[in-house]
C-alpha cells in the first residue's frame, strides 16, 4: 500500500463533493513562488547575529517539542522564528471576490490554517508581519463550517469518534445515533514549540496562482479547488501568519490535492535559494513545484541526478517525512550516527525528519558532540582561532575567527550526510559554516546544533533528529510519495525558478 493510500481512503469520504478545476494541464507540474521571511522583515535592527541566535533557539524549541509531546493532540509543527521561513500566497473564497492569504510552506505539519477576523495574537510583537497592515479577513463567505460528523472533523481532533465530537457540539442523542447532526465541528487546539492556536474547520474554494509547466494560455488562477478543507484561527500565541501543511496527514495540501489530482501531489519539490540571512541575496523566489516530473532515461539532463533515501514509517507521528541517517563525514573522517537516527521503532522513536519549517539541523547530543569535536580537531589543526564570545552571541558552536576569505574556503573541512539507501549529500560550505562579521572581525560557526539526549526520556516519542532548511539551501528536495522516498540534487535554485516559470 502506498503512502497516500490511507489518506486517500479518508479523503474519499471527507472530500466526496469536492470538485477540481485545472486549466488544461492535469499531468503537468505547477510552480509556486516561495518568498523568504527576510524579504518582508520589518525590523531593521535585526542583524545576522540576531537571526542566528533566534533561529538556533527556535529550531531547538521546535525539535524538542516534538520529542516531549508524544500525544498527537497536543502538537502541531509550525515555523517559529523570523528570518528562517518560506511563504507563498493562496486565494480563498469565491473566485469573483477572493481573499489573498499568506501561508508558511511547512512539510512538518499537516493542516492548512490562517487567521480569520476576529483574531487575537498574543505575544506577537516583533514578528516580521505584525502588527497587520490590515486586519485579517472574516471567514470567507463562500465557505461553510465542517460538520461534527465528518471525517475531517475527526482528523483535526486526532481521530476522536464523530459521536463524541457531536456530543461536544450539543447535538441531540437522536441526531447522534442516526448520524444526522449538522452542527459545526468544535474548535480544536494545537500547541507547538513556544505557542499555540485555536481554530475551526471550514470548507470552501481555494486557488493557487502558480504557473503551469508548460505554461497554460492563462495561469492567473492555475489551480482551483472548489471544496478545500482549511482552518480559520481566531486566536494564536506567537504566530500571526497561517501555515500550509505539506505533511503526510489527510488534511495536508498534498493529501487533499492527491484525492483528485494524483499527478500533481504524487511528487512535489522545492529548491531554496541560498541567502546567508541577507535579504539582498533573495532577488528571485524559491520554486515550489507540484507534480515534479523525473527526467526519463532517454531524455538528456544536464543537472546532477537525485540521490534518494527511503521514507520511514513512524506509527506515532505518521505525518512526518522521516528518513534514516547512517553517518556523517567531516573531511576524510567518518562519524557513525547514533542508532536512534537510523530507524524508527514501533513506539515512534527515532529517525530524522526532513523539515522545511526548521532552520538548523538538529542531532542527538552524542552524535552532535562527536561531530563538533571532530570538526574542532580539524579546524584547530588548520590554524583557526576559536571564537568563544561569538558562540554566546549566536547560540551556535564551535565558532572560529578567520582573516583571509579565500583561504578559509580551502581550509574548512567538508561536511556530508550519509542517509540509508546509499544516499550521500555533500553540503556546500555556506550551508554549515557561514561567514559573518562581529566586532570588526570575520568569523564562522558550525551551523548544526544539538537536539539534546534522544534516549532515556520517559516521555520521548518522536524523531531523534531534524534536517533543517538552512542545510537544504541550494538543493532541490523532492518528496516522492508514490515511491516512498525523498531525493536531493544540487541545483542553482534561482536559475531553476527562471527555467520552470518560463517553460
Task: Give catalytic residue positions.
Answer: 106, 355
Whether residue 390 contacts residue 438, with contact meaning beta carbons closer than 8 Å, is answered with yes
Whether residue 359 contacts residue 275, with contact meaning beta carbons closer than 8 Å, is answered with no
Q: Indicate the SS3 state at residue 397.
A: coil
Place of cell 534536517: 467
Residue 362, classified by CB atoms within 10 Å of its CB into exposed (0-12), middle (13-18) or buried (19+), is: buried
- The CA distance from 469 to 449, in Å, is 13
- The CA distance from 454 to 461, in Å, is 10
Residue 93, classified by CB atoms within 10 Å of its CB into exposed (0-12), middle (13-18) or buried (19+), is: buried
Whether residue 97 contacts residue 488, with contact meaning beta carbons closer than 8 Å, is answered with no
- The CA distance from 190 to 196, in Å, is 6
> Bridge partners of 267?
480
**How many other C-beta atoms are found inside a 10 Å radius of the C-beta of residue 407?**
12
DSSP code, position 140: P
Q: Indicate the SS3 state at residue 476.
A: strand
Give the H or E element holding residue 327.
strand 325-330
Residue 429, classified by CB atoms within 10 Å of its CB into exposed (0-12), middle (13-18) or buried (19+), is: middle
Measure CA 31 to chain center.
17
| Helices (runs of H) and strands (runs of E) counted in the chain | 12, 29
- The CA distance from 309 to 425, in Å, is 10
Termini Cα distance of the chain? 34
- The CA distance from 235 to 348, in Å, is 31
As a whole number of angstroms, the longest Cα–Cα distance in the chain is 78
DSSP code, position 340: G
In 3D space, the residue among 1, 19, 2 whose CA is nearest the CA of residue 256 turns out to be 19
- The CA distance from 401 to 384, in Å, is 6
**How many other C-beta atoms are found inside a 10 Å radius of the C-beta of residue 125?**
10
Q: Indicate the SS3 state at residue 112.
A: strand
Amino acid at each position: 500500500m502506498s503512502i497516500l493510500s490511507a489518506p486517500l481512503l479518508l479523503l474519499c469520504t471527507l472530500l466526496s463533493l469536492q470538485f477540481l478545476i485545472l486549466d488544461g494541464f492535469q499531468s503537468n507540474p505547477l510552480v509556486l513562488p516561495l518568498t523568504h521571511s527576510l524579504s518582508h522583515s520589518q525590523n531593521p535592527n535585526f542583524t545576522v547575529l540576531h537571526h542566528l541566535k533566534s533561529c538556533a533557539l527556535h529550531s531547538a524549541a521546535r525539535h524538542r517539542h516534538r520529542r516531549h509531546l508524544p500525544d498527537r493532540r497536543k502538537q502541531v509543527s509550525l515555523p517559529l522564528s523570523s528570518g528562517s521561513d518560506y511563504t507563498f500566497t493562496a486565494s480563498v473564497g469565491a473566485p469573483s471576490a477572493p481573499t489573498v492569504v499568506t501561508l508558511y510552506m511547512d512539510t512538518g505539519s499537516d493542516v492548512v490554517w490562517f487567521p480569520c477576523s476576529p483574531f487575537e495574537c498574543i505575544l506577537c510583537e516583533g514578528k516580521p508581519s505584525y502588527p497587520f497592515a490590515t486586519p485579517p479577513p472574516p471567514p470567507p463567505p463562500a465557505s461553510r463550517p465542517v460538520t461534527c460528523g465528518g471525517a475531517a472533523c475527526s482528523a483535526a481532533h486526532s481521530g476522536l469518534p464523530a459521536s463524541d465530537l457531536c456530543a461536544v457540539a450539543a447535538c441531540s442523542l437522536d441526531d447522534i445515533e442516526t448520524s444526522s447532526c449538522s452542527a459545526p465541528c468544535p474548535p480544536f487546539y494545537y500547541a507547538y514549540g513556544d505557542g499555540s492556536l485555536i481554530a475551526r474547520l471550514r470548507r470552501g474554494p481555494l486557488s493557487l496562482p502558480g504557473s503551469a509547466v508548460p505554461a497554460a494560455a492563462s495561469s492567473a488562477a492555475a489551480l482551483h479547488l472548489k471544496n478545500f478543507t482549511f482552518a480559520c484561527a481566531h486566536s494564536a500565541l506567537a504566530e500571526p501568519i497561517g501555515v500550509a501543511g505539506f505533511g503526510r496527514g489527510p488534511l495536508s495540501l498534498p493529501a487533499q490535492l492527491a484525492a483528485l489530482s494524483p499527478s500533481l501531489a504524487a511528487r512535489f519539490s522545492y529548491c531554496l535559494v541560498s541567502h546567508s540571512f541577507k535579504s539582498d541575496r533573495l532577488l528571485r523566489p524559491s520554486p515550489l513545484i507540484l507534480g515534479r516530473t523525473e527526467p526519463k532515461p532517454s531524455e538528456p539532463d544536464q543537472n546532477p541526478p537525485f540521490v534518494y533515501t527511503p521514507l520511514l514509517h513512524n506509527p506515532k507521528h505518521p505525518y512526518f517525512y522521516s528518513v534514516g541517517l547512517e553517518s556523517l563525514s567531516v573531511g576524510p573522517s567518518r562519524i557513525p550516527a547514533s542508532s536512534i537516527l537510523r530507524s524508527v521503532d514501533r513506539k515512534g522513536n527515532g529517525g530524522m525528519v526532513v523539515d522545511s519549517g526548521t532552520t538548523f539541523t538538529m542531532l542527538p547530543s552524542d552524535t552532535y558532540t562527536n561531530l563538533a569535536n571532530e570538526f574542532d580537531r580539524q579546524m584547530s589543526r588548520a590554524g583557526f582561532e576559536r571564537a568563544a564570545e561569538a558562540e554566546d552571541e549566536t547560540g551556535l558552536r564551535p565558532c572560529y575567527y578567520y582573516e583571509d576569505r579565500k583561504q578559509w574556503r580551502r581550509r574548512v573541512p567538508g561536511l556530508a550526510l550519509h542517509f540509508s539507501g546509499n544516499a550521500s549529500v555533500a553540503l556546500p560550505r555556506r550551508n554549515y559554516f557561514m561567514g559573518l562579521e562581529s566586532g570588526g572581525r570575520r568569523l564562522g560557526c558550525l551551523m548544526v546544533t544539538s537536539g539534546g539526549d534522544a534516549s532515556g526520556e520517559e516521555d520521548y516519542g518522536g524523531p531523534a533528529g531534524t534536517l533543517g532548511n538552512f542545510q537544504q539551501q541550494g538543493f532541490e528536495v523532492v518528496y516522492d510519495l508514490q515511491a516512498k522516498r525523498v531525493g536531493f540534487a544540487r541545483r542553482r535554485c534561482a536559475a531553476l525558478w527562471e527555467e520552470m516559470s518560463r517553460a
